[in-house]
Structure 1
Amino acid sequence: MGVSDKLLHAVVDAAEEKKAHEIVALNLQGISLVADYFLICHGNSDTQVLAIATEIRKRAEQLGARVRLEGMDTARWVLIDMGDVVAHVFHRDEREYYSLERLWSDAKAVEFA
């Protein structure tokens, strides 16, 4: 398992721990130079969005990833850039509007056991 795979698994675990909804991981390898993986999920309140984003940041930093956060001030769409993995934590109302899964529809979803 590569570094980006380990980071992705840690980020998914963090999102699951904070009860994120509809967690989707997209494999962007060979499709985009932006990142190897996108994680997309949502929370049902500003508080939950912030809790998910904070836990993802904490887990990524524990693995030694450099983390950049954007959107924590509004908690509508928090972008967590960890280099090879980029997490998008939406507020429920914003996720459907931006529809990143549709935008990146040529990326394959990553299955987790």
Structure 2
Amino acid sequence: MYPDKLQQSIIEILEDLKSKDIFILDTRSYTDLFDKMIIVTSSSNRHGRAIANNLYKTKDKLNKSIKIEGIENSEWIIVDFGDIVVHIMQKESRDFYDLESLWNR
């Protein structure tokens, strides 16, 4: 699956699950590890886990291997699709770490 189609599928899932403040950053000029970073805000631990689990359930449809980190405490969950890394963060964590400013120089 091409990265743009992968991104579109991920965004559709995030929007369906009412993720807030979806931010997409092209990271190709910063790193060779992945092409895009998507940062979203979840409203609670349960909401964050639901988003991560639904992204994981689409692995066969998206034909991608998916790795998830941080689902235990759910304040900051990383879902790694290889080409795209999704950060699911609660508002407090997102404000504190401010990944948008850190990566978007």
TM-score (ref. length: structure 1): 0.86
1:93 partner amino acid: E
In structure 1, distance between residues paired with 2:15 and 2:79: 16
Give the Cα–Cα distance (whole angstroms) in 2 for the partners of residues 68 and 38 of structure 1: 14
State the match for 1:78 in structure 2: 77
Q: For 2:80, give the aligned amino acid.
A: D
Q: Hey, what's the Cα distance between the residues in 2 that align with 1:92 and 1:50?
A: 15
Partner of 1:98: 97
- Corresponding position of 1:111: none
Matched residue type, 2:46: T
Paired residues in the alignment total 105
Quote how far apart the aligned CAs of 1:31 are. 2.2
- TM-score, normalised relative to structure 2: 0.93
**Identity of aligned pairs, percent?**
28
Could you tell me which residue of structure 1 aligns to residue 87 of structure 2? Answer: 88
What SS is found at the alignment partner of 1:50? helix
Deviates more, 1:51-60 or 1:96-105: 51-60
Give the alignment of 1:1-113 within 5 angstroms.
Answer: 3-106=2-105
Q: Note the residue ranges of structure 1 that are not aligned, 5 or more in a row.
A: 107-113
Partners of 1:30 and 1:94 in 2: how far apart? 25
Runs (4+) of structure 1 exceeding 3 A deviation are: none
Gaps of 5+ in 2: none
- Which amino acid in 2 is paired with 1:39? I
SS at match of 1:24: strand
Q: Deviations over 1:5-27 (max 9, x none)?
A: 11111111111111001001111
- d(CA) in 2 for partners of 1:64 and 1:41? 23
Contact 1:25 1:38 in 2 (8 A): yes
